[in-house]
Structure 1
Amino acid sequence: MSELRGVGIGLGVAQGPVARMAEPLPAPEDVASALSQDEELARVREAVAGVARELEERGSKAGGAAQEVLEAQAMMAEDPTLDQEVATRVAAGKTGEFAVHDAFATFRDMLAAMGGYLGERAADLDDVAQRVIARLRGLPAPGVPDPGHPFVLVAKDLAPADTALLDLDKVLALVTSEGGPTSHTAILAREKSIVAVVGVAEAPGLADGESVIVDAAKGVVTTQPTADELTQAQNRAEARRNAASAPITPGALADGTAIPLLANLGKPGGAAEAVELGAEGVGLFRTEFLFLSASQAPTVDEQTKAYTELLQTFPGKKVVVRALDAGADKPLAFLNDAHEENPALGLRGLRALRASEDILREQLTALANADKATDADLWVMAPMVSTVEETEYFVTLARDYGIKTAGVMVEVPSSAIMADKVLAIADFASIGTNDLTQYTLAADRLLGSVASFQDPWHPAVLSLVKATADGGAANGKPVGICGEAAADPLLAVVLVGLGAATLSMAPTALADVRASLLQYTRDDAERIAAAALAASDAASARTAAQAAAETPAD
């Protein structure tokens, strides 16, 4: 028996035989085409169109975050610049397979060098190229194996197209050698409640058919497990299923301290499911869906209708709406599509809204209209706030439009450090741990080459969470968490121990976090948080918190 360690997603545990993801197709040889240029180019374009339609169809079936990712991949496949690059190579006498391989690889390297959002898309481009080449060769697309029985899927990482439509009756768990807690695989696994351990460096050594236990709660993959270990894992899995089917209760610690558990939502249509899964309100409603697919800003009436639909689902409950967060990985033609060398540090969030204030004013008008038409408790917050002056600007403007509760996102170290002054003005703060981690550790959250730094367990990030919570306590203002960190069951306990009053997450993570909180008192949470804070890096913080969680208080 041996234990392979990685980052667990959720609290699940599963066991079964390994089935490995197929290796990528070999690169095509650079040989002359036997077809005419027109024939070769026609078959390439037919294959590209076929792959794009397949990706769109998969996205439509999957819905949610997966649909957005797959539709982006489909657009990428049919990018005119890529088409021209392929056509140039075909005109030089290359085969369609080689033209696609070489053109996509050149484009991929260019994207990777750009970093940021476009750098992250480079990995998706590899998947598209593989699918097109497979179609040209008349082969099945690289993807999830089908051994004919339930299995533990082991891969380097999973392309969004594969993760989106996993057969959950067959795939018992996921194990990847790459990826971190905010990777596509982790986010989609969390959304689908799949047992997963990512970033397992030794995963390539697992063999097809080998029996393993995948323990997401501990972030461990156990090889050659004993009969007793298999029985214990099975008992834990059954207990978890029973807990999930038990009546849903409000989020709370073992001593009765209330910790409201809220949902992160991207569209009004997800609200009903969030309520079914036990969301006590909404901690982050992303309004970008109204803007990203538009060539111009939606009207006040269009926005009012969407916000009203959302608020009506949560009568009497808190709904926190984030003002438009555009820029960096979400540029908008009518707001901020100018080229920036480092868009993550550029005109994004509130900075972009101030530069086009009419868009912010229209959004606040629509939100105030929706608030008047419903019984929900509307809170509105500004994204990417980095100064006290920005806080004052947004809160004053929101009040002018009748917004009763106006707050800020804490995603930048400066706002965490100045939290006592920021929260003397704002009514509340919500910590976006994804961006806070990015800016604290100077590691682009969308760049694979620095993914190992993108870990909210780092004590530097935890220190800023505590500073923000302390600033809230000093002013009698609530501080919540709405980043991916809140969906990590043990980290959720740590965040509460640091002073977080509410936790907001993907709705499918609510059950695990609720169960985790119920194991600890307020004193326990503070003790576990102190252990994590005292560590020197993310890995040791996680280990220290786990040890403290398993050790009874004196």
Structure 2
Amino acid sequence: MPEPGWAGPGGRLSGLGVSQGRAAGPLVRMAGPPSLPAPRPVADPEAEAATVVKALEAVTADLNRRAATARTRGGGGAGGEAAEILEALAMIADDPMLREEAESRARSGADAAHALDAAFTGHRDALAALGGYLAERAADLDDLKHRAVAAALGLPMPGLPDPGHPYVLVAGDLSPADTAGLGPDVLALVTERGGPTSHTAILARARGLPAVVACPAVADVPDGTIVGVDGASGEIALGLTPEQAAEVMERDRAERARLAAATGPGRTADGHPVRLLANIGSAADLRPGAEGVGLFRTEFLFLDRKQPPSPEEQTAAYAEVFERAEGPVIVRTLDAGTDKPLPFLGLPEEPNPALGVRGLRVDRLLPDVLDAQLAAIAEAARATGADVRVMAPMVTTPAEAAGFARRARAAGIAQAGVMVEVPAAALRAAELLREVDFLSIGTNDLAQYTFAADRQHPALADLLDPRQPALLGLIEACAAAGREAGKPVGVCGEAAGDPAVAPLLVGLGVTSLSMAPSCVPLVREALAGLTLEECRELARDALA
């Protein structure tokens, strides 16, 4: 792939590069919901009823097959969670009452597609009327309806494609469940929507997949076109030859091998230490090379769970990570709310969830949840002998920090910290550090709340750029408070894994950087090429 600024015979497109690396292969689009055609006359109602049954059987079989693949590939963690979600959907598609209603409508004269649409819609409306958790599950029936109608019409089912060969996946956007279910054949991701700190971006980095978001023009590229994806620059080359695609893949493999060969602790060229830590969602995400875990997102273990995990289940999940991790592990307590709902909590709907009950604020409604989690973390730490610390998300006031630290220590966890994700916490960093042992700056949400810009909104990506001076000023204030208190202040947002931004953060005074494991080699190399004074100079220039 020519350097710099490459293009294939078909030209190139540009989006936001959100996950480093390059890949090339045939483009395959994730199918959207089918359009329901106009009703048609039915000559053989029994044949339509048989089509209804076959469509539901096809949906059930497809979901069970995907669940088995996810369970085999992922084991526990995200793979196990994806399998549970898919198995639950398969059970709904195989529900006898649903099947009987759809068959009855077909025998009464409706064509198979409309019979299925009506049956699913009726069940969905009944769930929505019940409110609460059951109403939230109504969206699952929409997904199943689209799949069943597509099967009845002989169209590709919506959702992740399975072409049987390696490919570049293109979609409008991807949910966390979609991204968790990606198979090994996916070479890279390109989405029409999304932002630099969306969960598509976060999970792509965790998987080490090159990814470009906010590229609406990719919708016009025909399926099967061989494309090259540069996850750093955001460029997409169109119309590559198979030989060019093979060259892109070989170069990427060689570059990854070169970076992986460089090991050791993070430090600048003049020896200033900067701990390089990993962001993970389960033990399956652990990779060699990091100096510990700076962010263990525990809620990823329990997404879409209908029942709360038992104390034993929580303890076992945490112990698996503690046993396998190298170095200290910082556990973030459940960060429920907004784009990461935890159905077993039964939280009420809110008009503006991003400004509502999320993170530590859930404790205001359900205090037993935090105490149970802290007890499970402490038990897993005792059983494994690991160096375990905890931190709370969405802390706003010193009083919240003090209350969290008190309960963590009462549970037997010696080191307690908090995340700085709202400007109020950054502005009172010194007061927070009187109550806790460390701060961890979540730049994704801190940018969102500082600039009043939805982190999922592609049109506002410039406001979410971690090099914005206002955001850097808040980070600098936190780092200065840490130096004064003699306590560590790290960054665990996505900015920490950007090799162009990490030196700025070091220049501002942060003591550790936590990122997707795939980003550690790039950041290690970036820091090793600069002295601490050069990092500080970069930070001064960015602030100005």
Range of TM-score over shorter length? 0.7 to 0.9
Distance 2:180 2:316 in 1: 33
Question: In the TM superposition, what is the alpha-carbon distance from 1:29 to its structure 2 partner?
Answer: 1.1
Per-residue deviation, 1:281: 1.0
* Partner residue, 2:153: 137
8 Å CA contact retained: 1:20, 1:145: no
Deviations along 1:36-61, one digit per CA (max 9) or x if unpaired, are: 69656645543443343234234324
Q: Secondary structure at the match of 2:501?
A: helix
Number of the residue aligned with 1:217: 232
**2:60 alignment counterpart:** 49
For residue 279 of structure 1, the aligned residue among 290, 308, 317 is 290
CA shift, 1:98, in A, is 3.6
The match for 1:320 is 330
How far did residue 427 of structure 1 move? 0.9
Instruction: Report the Cα distance in structure 2 between the residues aligned to 1:363 and 1:162, rounded to whole angstroms.
Output: 26
**AA paired with 1:485?**
A
SS of alignment partner, residue 490 of structure 1: coil
Taking the aligned partners of 1:230 and 1:66, their CA distance within structure 2 comes to: 29
State the match for 2:17 in structure 1: 8
Change (3 A) 1:341 1:104: farther
Determine whether 1:455 maps to 2:464.
Answer: yes
Of residues 400, 420, 439 in structure 1, which corresponds to 2:410?
400
Structure 1 counterpart of 2:274, from 246, 251, 259: 259
- 1:295 partner amino acid: Q
Alpha carbons of structure 1 residues 306 and 512: separation in structure 2 relative to 1, 3 Å: same
Deviations 1:314-351 (A, max 9, x none): 47x32111223334455557755333333333333222
| SS of aligned partner of 2:434 | helix
| Counterpart check, 1:497 vs 2:507 | yes
2:275 touches 2:512 (CA, 8 Å); kept in 1? yes
**Helix, strand or coil for the counterpart of 1:320?**
strand
CA distance in 1, matches of 2:471, 2:414: 30
> Structure 1: which amino acid aligns with 2:151?
R
Cα distance, 1:382 vs. partner? 1.7
1:424 matched to 2:440? no
Contact 1:86 1:100 in 2 (8 A): no
List per-residue Cα deviations over 1:500-541 (Å, max 9, x = no partner): 32122232332333333333333333344445545xxxxxxx
Shift of 1:297: 5.7
> Is residue 11–residue 489 contact of structure 1 (8 Å, CA) maintained in 2?
no
1:68-467 alignment runs, 5 A limit: 68-69=81-82, 71-72=84-85, 75=88, 91=105, 94-98=110-114, 129-141=145-157, 144=161, 146=163, 152=168, 154-157=170-173, 161=178, 164-168=181-185, 172-204=187-219, 206=221, 213-222=228-237, 237=252, 239-267=254-282, 269-270=283-284, 274=286, 276-288=287-299, 293=305, 295-296=307-308, 298-299=310-311, 303-314=314-325, 317-330=327-340, 335-445=345-455, 452=461, 455-457=464-466, 459=468, 460-467=470-477
* CA drift at 1:386: 1.0
Contact 2:98/2:119, CA 8 A, preserved across alignment: no
Per the alignment, residue 21 of structure 1 pairs with 29
Shift of the 325–234 alpha-carbon distance from structure 1 to 2, 3 Å rule, reads closer
Q: Give the % identical residues.
A: 43
Give the root-mean-square deviation of aligned CA atoms: 4.6
Given residue 508 of structure 2, which amino acid in structure 1 is its aligned partner?
A: L
Give the CA deviation at 1:31: 0.9
TM-score by length of 1: 0.75
**Could you say if the C-alpha distance between residues 262 and 425 of structure 1 is closer, same or farther in structure 2, counting changes exceeding 3 Å?**
same
Q: 1:246 to 1:29 in 2, by over 3 A?
A: same
1:167-188 Cα offsets, whole Å, 9 max, x none, are: 44xx554433333334454344
8 Å CA contact retained: 1:213, 1:233: yes
Separation in 1, partners of 2:403, 2:366: 14
The CA deviation at 1:7 is: 1.9
Residue 429 of structure 1, CA deviation: 1.0
What is the letter of the counterpart of residue 45 of structure 2? L
Paired amino acid for 1:11: Q
Conservation of the 8 A alpha-carbon contact between 1:180 and 1:198: yes
For residues 447-487 of structure 1, give each alpha carbon's deviation from its aligned partner in whole angstroms, at most 9, with x where no partner exists: 66878588353624444333322332332221112233333
Distance between the aligned counterparts of 2:30 and 2:404, measured in 1? 51
1:57 alignment partner AA: A
Query: Which whole-Å CA distance do the structure 2 matches of 1:456 and 1:106 have between them?
Result: 45
Residues 154-163 or 22-31, more deviating: 154-163
Alignment counterpart, residue 483 of structure 2, candidates 457, 473, 488: 473
Counterpart code for 2:234: G
For residue 334 of structure 2, give the secondary structure of its aligned residue in structure 1: coil
